[in-house]
Amino acid sequence: MKNLSTDTATSPAKRNHGLDLEPSWFDDIQVNLSALERRSATLGTRRSVKKQWQAAWLLKAISCIDLTTLSGDDTPAKVKRLCAKARQPVREDLLTALDMGDLGLTVGAICVYPTMVPHAVKALEGSKIPVASVATGFPAGLTPLKQRLEEISFAVSEGAKEIDIVITREYALLGQWDKLYDEVKAMRERCGEAHLKTILATGELGHFRNVYKASMVCMQAGADFIKTSTGKESINATLPTSLVMVRGIRAYLENTDIKIGFKPAGGIRTAKDAMNWQFLMREELGREWLEPELFRFGASSLLTDIERQLEHYVTGRYSATFRHPVG
């Protein structure tokens, strides 16, 4: 079933080195709430993707997952099991049935705490799967800045290729955009060659205008990705919030010709959820934002449901979740 191929080449995204803080890009932003909600609601209701086309979208979604474990009981053995799943995210028999055995499918990255980075790096030796690490006092981000910067340095020195930082929400809530800019810029510099993903924790920013402004400030400070949530808030990734952030990415692209990545995280558990976010990226930003260089899901349980949907396509039956263990 080679028509399920997920190959569409995309050139590596040019690094975002940032620019001077430019408040005029966001100071007067307004958000039409009813239009925002109406647009978001249509993503999952006005299109129908079935059969082999749905399978193709789901295979593409797998390649964009940051397979994540961020629990207090994380151990080297648990991380090793997760990395094994990252290398072979879909059972071999299902890929063979889909005529995709030679696809070389992997997830986009493994995301762990800084102390787990060396174990993930070792487990992924020989693969091209990068290790991402949360840092900067995740998830609250309220430790002293010096300590947060040192945490970035530690994760990078241990082999992390991507760093997911959390912003100080206080700066966004008080409109102290210069302080937010300086903080993220310092974190970007500390990352060096590692890519910086800034977590806005949008559920704690108060309103959509703050979401847009924080997105733009982080991009101006040099973020390579902007990310919705830590996954630990009471409100995590939502389509309306994501739409606001994606429109910010589009505005930044128009002003700078720099492509910024997007990562929804928290609460994305089903294959249907994944496809709705893919529809959003395809329609708002274009085909390039369906590749892991510019789009990631932060997820731990999403892969299980996607694999169940692929087995249903192959066999016509839904399987139990224990047939598709993640870690």
Q: How many whole angstroms separate alpha carbon 54 and alpha carbon 213? A: 35
DSSP 90-144: S-HHHHHHTT-TTS----SEEEE-GGGHHHHHHHTTTS-PPEEEE-SSTTT--S-
**51 carries an active-site annotation:** no
Catalytic member of 60, 185, 213, 263? 263
> Catalytic residue among 164, 224, 273, 305, which?
164
Active site residue 227: yes
CA 160, 288, 6, 275 torsion-angle sign: positive
Cis amide leading into 139 (omega within 30):
yes
Render the burial of 225-250: b for 16+ CB within 10 Å, e for the rest: bbbbbbbbbeebbbbbbbbbbbbbbe
8 Å CB contact between 166 and 139: yes
Annotated catalytic residue, options 227, 259, 273, 305:
227
State yes or no: is 164 an active-site residue.
Answer: yes
Interatomic CA distance for residues 271 and 324, integer angstroms: 14
Q: Which residues are catalytic?
A: 164, 227, 263
